[in-house]
Chain A
């Protein structure tokens, strides 16, 4: 079924929500623009419709229009949003209602509920979970406070809170990201809405948590028969839970249809391009992602690695890195608790290769990269760097040697927005490393900066501009250019693409690959996204709770994952391929990130470390005590 304009078929049963020719305009100081332009689609009863597109495509604005919670600068300037509530005799046109009228308040949170991307910021930090969730019910139903709290407990239990009674008194910051999102879902579900709008509900979550949340939404939908409007940029998520798909680009529908139609026979070139831009597991060895907008660079083609002595062994090596943090725990300044963030981590990064470090949030991967950068001192173990004159302990370096190390190892950050000083021009940002290390005359620096900009595919006219006038992807390329300014040998990339759109992600990944092959760089690539790591890395180390649990060349890791955690992690990645659906049942267990609950021989009881064992060349797995004793 395609919604071509002027050719609207009336379905047998009226859809729950039908949007016709919706147009939303923004009025800003810099001029007006149309965020949504003549949008037309239906959300049938009991089905899931996915709204897909890059950031800025107007998908979130569409969702906000349905609830009439648009920002003040935006206005619905045309079209209708017909809501056929099965509990009401007549349908309402939401677009025609007054934004702060009684009718809209009734719908909001009552018949149409919404969950948001950032579970941290979507909940008020000053109010308890119980207060915020029961509030939704108290607004819409005539119940007593006690009854509302009772219902809240039931809903919390339903969405999987282990101790709903305690959760009532918990504050959002006491919960993990997954639990916070569950609380959001509970808040949306407590009034039994007919339509749930989920705006990127799992984007900020780890893959295993994402799979559980998607599973939860699916289950509850089956139970209550509500419709879901899912807004996402992740085609993998869409392939797994949507019934129908609407692809948006710049406020317009590019393509719409059932999931089968969209994934089996994508018609529109934009959708095809989007599909080609996403890293997948089944990619061929040397297959290259095709970004939607390719970046060209002449300087890159001419660039070459500087002549310098090459190390015999790996350029960077970590041996037995361990780091503990003291956690303030409990209420009212209780005793600090020691947490082992990193547990005897061994890593080796060969020259010109990429080592991927994968794990979920809180597994210690960022702590490792900080210790390598010497931003943190390890409690035990050492980091060895070899610039061709033999390995040296990084944490013992001083004076000139330390400065040289700083030049050789540079960092690319996750957030392209906060990692560039908004008050410095591009020229100042890119020359700052040169100035700090006192390299070159100002003319030479100017030449170098122009070359760097060209290398990352940015226009030289950007030099006088400030970071805010660049898009996320362009900023990340600025960050890369800054890291390259000192001709480093190693780049530490901490989630460099996780804040970017899929289309831009492909661009940046390709750029990193090209830079590596031309300049002979070595990368330590930290990410939670397995598909991305699979695309860029040669060797992959999987981290969990401060341990490296499995390390292998990427082909054997994905072909033959041995450790239960690696398996769970792989199983949880939604693939934009209808033939490889998520196995929700397997992921429901939720014990794969606790070393004490891993099955034998992988189980590691508290206070033990286990041992790494090589099961095939280059492929190592951490085993628990039983195996360790056997070996001894």
Chain B
């Protein structure tokens, strides 16, 4: 087991190394970078003081060096102008666009993103699983058709549109949450009880909007999985034992049908960050989605690189977590045998 874990951690490190190289070189692929573009602009305006500052920054971050050296400095495998200072050392770099360290730019946004999306994921499971169980056990009933229909609606409605509609009506009827994740007056304030309350009430709309599309597809997949399992012989055995229908269902076929969802955790985690860009823009949520978008557009390389690496780490860690969870709940995988 420990050998397996060590091997997995080793391959994870290699994977991340390869991803970091890809991320860096793809960001560098278009000619120029944020600073040299800036310098061009400033030259046109003859603003010498700003040019000097930009040139200082170029030196500071070694942007005049060859790309591969820049890469090694960025990940912290080669001494830059300030010695070893890169991702490995916990220095996430400088955002030229915001003229702040990446840490300060991303900071709160990162955790709020995770919070919003985690809420959405919990919402998806809480809503989808009961509905899926209902429609699988009553296949082709009116309720099943209704759930299917609503599910398709959820799947087909563009979430940003839904966001706008909900935003309007919730505000009109209940007077809550116009964009953002907390009231504007709390921005930059320390976390107080009121701020958290405000955050929670602002969470409702994004949770529903982001969650609804996921709920629909989850219902469809869960229903299909469960229907497969309901036809299996061991479920008949459980019923023939005299087990009540609910207990028999939850203990046997339902547990079997969870496997694909646990295997999916690895895909779910990165989705938490990058999956809701459009909705975040519409609802003006302070999440990393919009930040990433503008960083990529402006070639703000350290900011974009960091966010992408963060997503990559989430993916790899998610895969590991789902593998370990699968081994934990499914003895067939744990013991490496069986069919």
Contacts and interface: CB of A to CB of B under 8 A. Distances in A.
Contacts of B329: 126
A116 interface: yes
B337 A333 contact: no
B174 interface: no
Contacts of A124: 234, 237-238, 252, 256
A107 B243 CA distance: 11
A107 B330 contact: no
B283 to A, nearest CB: 41
B233 A69 contact: no
| Chain A CB within 10 A, most for which of B232, B243, B330, B339 | B243
A331 B336 CA distance: 7
Contacts of A328: 336-337
B232 A174 contact: no
Contacts of B233: 116, 118, 121-122
Contacts, number: 99
Interface string A294-315: 0000000000000000000000
B64 to A, nearest CB: 50
A72 B242 CA distance: 17
B336 A116 contact: no
Interface residues of B, number: 31
B245 interface: yes
B239 A108 contact: yes
B256 A332 contact: no
Contacts of A135: 241, 243
Nearest to B252: A124
Contacts of B53: none
A333 B242 contact: no
A105 interface: yes
B242 A110 contact: yes
A116 B242 contact: no
Contacts of B238: 124
Nearest to B1: A332
B338 A171 contact: yes
A107 B233 CA distance: 19
A140 B240 CA distance: 12
Given A122-B233, A125-B331, A139 B243 contact: yes
A360 to B, nearest CB: 19
A67 interface: yes
Contact of B242 (A109, A120, A121, A174): A109
Nearest to B237: A122
Contacts of B3: 333
Given A123-B237, A171-B335, A171-B338, A139 B242 contact: yes
Given A108-B239, A108-B241, A333-B1, A126 B256 contact: yes
Interface string B123-140: 000000000000000010
A33 to B, nearest CB: 19
Interface of B: 1, 3-4, 139, 232-234, 236-245, 251-252, 255-256, 329-332, 334-339
10 contacts: A69-B236, A106-B242, A108-B239, A114-B237, A114-B240, A116-B236, A135-B243, A173-B335, A174-B335, A332-B1
